[in-house]
Structure 1
Amino acid sequence: MNISPEFQFRAKDTLEAEVRSNFEHTLQRLTELVAIPSVAWEAYDLSQVERSAEKVKELAFAVGFEQVEILTATYGPENTAGMPAVVARKEAAPGHPTILLYAHHDVQPVGNLKEWQTAPFVATRKGDRLFGRGAADDKAGVLAHLAAFEATRTVLGDDFKAGVTLFIEGEEEAGSPSFTNFLNTYRDKLAADVIIVADSSNWQVGVPALTTSLRGVASGTISVRVADHNVHSGVFGGPLLDAHTVMVRTLASLHNSQGSVAVEGLIHAPEPEVEYLEANFRADSGILDSVELAGTDSIASRLWAQPAISIIGMDVPSVETASNTIAATSRAKISVRLAPGSDPAQAHAALENHLKNLDVMGAKVTYTADDSGQPFSTDTSSAGAQLALAAFKESWQVDPVTTGLGGSIPFIADLTEVFPGADILITGIEDPDTRAHSANESLYLPDFEKAILAEALMLAELSASAQ
């Protein structure tokens, strides 16, 4: 792919005017999509995910795609059907590149309704933010792609030479179980020279970012057994520690006194170039002023280049249902974030070895690997990355940041494996106060408009380039 290093962006003024004139219409479309509670978990109404896919299909036709399909793939030994994805295509003119636009239309569950200040599935505008589940993660990504495509198509007309494939997944929040099979099944429909993944975060409000590294993930379950069966705490308490107490001691061994991960064999990546100020981290995370930050080295290193272990679940009786019983067994779920360059299989082995060699008064401790996801890093000198950074600067009129992300997007590794020659660009429609996956999720509208313009600039520039 031959992309000019000078980046003319000749259509910028016209594209900017087009994006701005259609922005309220874009928000109305986003509002309609947010209204669909498309949670792709088995415990929820999966017909809503199908309804959401149909809505995305309708919108894809509305912005000018002529080929639009709802497709699925299977996964697992029983060939379980995956959730519906939308694939729309505009063919490339001879000699011009194809761009794959990825986002997902499924969302996280709402959680505790009492924590929401607005109705979760009613997009509610307050000042410069739009609140609602999926308003940012990732239905804003869906609309960013659709609006950028529509603006480029309208402005360029017959000069829109680049091919565009829209791929809107329906199960990302459920772990993308059919993703690998989906890529392999529809490889010919999805093949592209550049892949834009609109599912990340900008550096801060008003400052765009290209995500150039992601931590991998290795999650698993720790089990502790101290006795054959539960017993009365008054009769046997003292000599016999309950399994939950032993579990707490087991979990405490995963970190040292400074809060750094203490499991040998989990690697660190090189120090990031971007500085993340402690004051900014505290403001972004909502950590209490009295709580010390864990770990050593820079905050950016601790977030993006070092492993992190979180306890995300424990089988412990609630306070309301507690009884005077010594538990014989205890279970805990851990999520381990892995630095770029790590291998999830080796991480699982390191965790198992750590627990096997742990002495917690002879209790039986076992580890079961559950999920894995590869880390990711990209070459910022690539033609695609340079184009993205230039488009960000042109749209925001500030210097963009190349940043890591502490989270994981495991399917990125699948994209890399199936399409090794493509430039994969992870762009942001969120910001540090978006609160994705939490109550009161919201989208910062000024940056949303700029993200649409930046993507339209990229599509226009790629239409002027040749393979």
Structure 2
Amino acid sequence: MPTTTSPRPLPLSAELVEDLTARTAAAFPAVVDDLVDLVRIPSVSAPAFDQAHVVASAEAVAVLLRDVGLDVEILSVPGGAPAVVAHHDAGDGAPHVVLYAHHDVQPPGEGWTSPAFEPTRVGERLVGRGAADDKAGVMAHVGALRVLRERFGDDLPVSVTVFVEGEEEIGSPTFGDFLRTHGHRVAGDVIVVADSANWKVGTPALTTSLRGLVDLTVRLDVLDHAVHSGMFGGAVLDALTLMARLVTTLHDDDGAVAVAGLVHGTAADLDYPEEMYREEAGVLDGVRLAGRGSVQDRLWAQPAISLIGLDAPSVERASNTIAHTANAKISMRLAPGQDPMAAQEALIAHLEAHAPFGARLTITPGERGSAFLAPSDSPAMTLARSAFATAWGTDPVDVGMGGSIPFIADLLTLAPDAEILITGVEDPDSRAHSTDESVHLGELERAVLAEVLLLASLRH
């Protein structure tokens, strides 16, 4: 178990906490119903999918926020997906809180035990694409505002802006343009990003560090056209074999990243046993873990490289030809403190230096995102710890996150003095981005309550 920082008592009366807890429980069934409706919208933001569904998802979120009494706009910039921006002004002197989530989702993929966009209850979990990442985050905000509106009416404790993005799952490519155009609408004193995970079911977490991200595509050419493998094989290697040889140079024999010039850090000394990681990640028996250092070092404070896409003929459609070209997509996660541009240049230099047999490389840079490291003792963080401890009945833990949320660096450029809190509704069994993604409904209810208590506390 990670070490925890004991939270202070909430600056709210016991009677008010009890009242808000009861109101949250009463409001929660409607939160689940609305989450089910959102998950049914296949709002995949990847360009190969119908973007009309992303528009429909934005419109559905806008309706939910209007029903809470917020002033709502659906905004975008050229080439960007629709974002929902909703606002309530609590008047002078009230802190301004921005509540972030995203309504777009990953492609469904294969192998679901129930249809990806037909949400299904399985025990305490709701299964469906986006049920956890991040439509549950959307509903955590909506649910919290419903409870506060019911308790306080128009006199909410804080000014609130809800910002629900529509392209996070493709790296927020127009986020910078969006902030340059509409940034004045989404700036605040405290920014709550509901797009992370808790330590486990029953134990909440606050994410204090995130890795950065660089990805790129590599094209490798060896012939000007495919040729018969029997007539020409033996004197030239096919492009797929050469791509495989190139990709294997990215790691050493221990599976640690072998690209020179990258930052390697050390995570907090937490109790994260290998057995726990293997169970959470679904590592098969006999598969040896990669890298060096503690599990949390490898997940939170060191770079990681994955081959996430490869264009190749399928086995069923393969012909006896030597492939003349191959394409791969490589994703690299960056340790906190790593400059993304420097990391991209190091990765490109490594690939160019290791191109096998003189194969021709064409490298196309893709997404870049900065890492994030939060102070653990800011005023808003202190209140969040208390709110989480009250909602869960156990102290929260501070964790790093191996994933990336690149837009946070852009938000800090917009509002450098803002306090950023990264919260979430996922748990290790949520399988975000994978098949049978799900949210634990008990955890979602506690997340709603924690946000209710946090927002009520920020005024005090």
Query: What amino acid is the match of 1:389?
Result: R
What residue is the counterpart of 1:282 in the other structure? 278
8 A contact 2:355–2:361 mirrored in 1: no
What residue is the counterpart of 2:414 in the other structure? 418
Tell me if 1:89 matches 2:59: no
What residue is the counterpart of 2:19 in the other structure? 14
Query: What amino acid is the match of 1:96?
Result: A
**Matched residue of 2:403: which SS?**
coil
What residue is the counterpart of 2:349 in the other structure? 353
**How far apart, CA to CA, are the structure 1 residues paired with 2:375 and 2:341?**
24
- TM-superposed deviation, 1:5: 6.7
**Matched residue of 1:219: which SS?**
strand
CA deviations on 1:171-208 (whole Å, 9 max, x unpaired) are 21222222112222222221200000111111111111
**Matched residue of 1:19: which SS?**
helix
- TM-superposed deviation, 1:159: 5.1
What residue is the counterpart of 2:61 in the other structure? 56
Instruction: Structure 1 unaligned segments of length 5 or more: list them.
Output: 75-79
- TM-superposed deviation, 1:444: 0.3
**How far apart, CA to CA, are the structure 2 residues paired with 1:348 and 1:409?**
17
- TM-superposed deviation, 1:158: 5.9
Tell me if 1:30 matches 2:30: no
CA deviations on 1:55-112 (whole Å, 9 max, x unpaired) are 11111122232x11111122xxxxx2x2211111110321121100011111112122
8 A contact 1:355–1:366 mirrored in 2: no
- TM-superposed deviation, 1:462: 1.0
8 A contact 2:171–2:367 mirrored in 1: no
User: 96, 118, 125: which is aligned to 1:122?
Assistant: 118
Tell me if 1:383 matches 2:394: no
**Matched residue of 1:311: which SS?**
strand
Instruction: Structure 2 unaligned segments of length 5 or more: list them.
Output: 1-6
8 A contact 2:102–2:168 mirrored in 1: yes
User: 213, 216, 225: which is aligned to 2:212?
Assistant: 216
Q: How does 1:5-404 map to 2 (within 5 A)?
A: 7-10=10-13, 11-65=16-70, 67-74=71-78, 80=79, 82-112=80-110, 115-157=111-153, 160-358=156-354, 360-404=356-400
327-336 or 204-213, which deviates more:
327-336
What residue is the counterpart of 1:461 in the other structure? 457
**How far apart, CA to CA, are the structure 2 residues paired with 1:7 and 1:424?**
19
TM-score under structure 2 length normalisation: 0.94
**Matched residue of 1:28: which SS?**
helix
8 A contact 1:105–1:142 mirrored in 2: yes
CA deviations on 1:395-438 (whole Å, 9 max, x unpaired) are 11112111111111111111111111101111011111111112
**Matched residue of 1:186: which SS?**
helix
CA deviations on 1:308-327 (whole Å, 9 max, x unpaired) are 11001112211112122122
8 A contact 1:225–1:330 mirrored in 2: yes
**How far apart, CA to CA, are the structure 1 residues paired with 2:74 and 2:358?**
55
What residue is the counterpart of 1:77 in the other structure? none
8 A contact 2:90–2:155 mirrored in 1: no
Query: What amino acid is the match of 1:33?
Result: L
**How far apart, CA to CA, are the structure 2 residues paired with 1:46 and 1:158?**
36
Tell me if 1:408 matches 2:401: no
- TM-superposed deviation, 1:366: 4.4
Query: What amino acid is the match of 1:369?
Result: P
Query: How many residues are treated as equivalent by the alignment?
Result: 452
**Matched residue of 2:240: which SS?**
helix
**Matched residue of 1:14: which SS?**
helix
8 A contact 1:255–1:262 mirrored in 2: yes
8 A contact 1:153–1:160 mirrored in 2: yes
- TM-superposed deviation, 1:359: 6.0
- TM-superposed deviation, 1:151: 0.9
8 A contact 1:159–1:463 mirrored in 2: no
Identical-pair percentage: 52
**How far apart, CA to CA, are the structure 2 residues paired with 1:286 and 1:29?**
31
8 A contact 1:356–1:366 mirrored in 2: no
List structure 1 segments (4+ residues) > 6 angstroms apart after TM superposition: none
**Matched residue of 1:413: which SS?**
helix
**How far apart, CA to CA, are the structure 2 residues paired with 1:431 and 1:458?**
21
CA gap 1:126/1:5 in 2 versus in 1, 3 angstroms: closer
8 A contact 2:157–2:455 mirrored in 1: no
- TM-superposed deviation, 1:452: 0.4
**How far apart, CA to CA, are the structure 1 residues paired with 2:414 and 2:194?**
19
CA gap 1:145/1:242 in 2 versus in 1, 3 angstroms: same
- TM-superposed deviation, 1:263: 0.5
**How far apart, CA to CA, are the structure 1 residues paired with 2:452 and 2:207?**
19
**Matched residue of 2:356: which SS?**
coil
**How far apart, CA to CA, are the structure 2 residues paired with 1:29 and 1:409?**
26
TM-score under structure 1 length normalisation: 0.93
8 A contact 1:211–1:427 mirrored in 2: yes
Query: What amino acid is the match of 1:34?
Result: V
CA gap 1:162/1:180 in 2 versus in 1, 3 angstroms: same
RMSD, aligned α-carbons: 1.7
- TM-superposed deviation, 1:33: 1.4
377-386 or 183-192, which deviates more:
183-192
**How far apart, CA to CA, are the structure 1 residues paired with 2:417 and 2:433?**
32
**How far apart, CA to CA, are the structure 1 residues paired with 2:302 and 2:217?**
21
**How far apart, CA to CA, are the structure 2 residues paired with 1:356 and 1:284?**
36
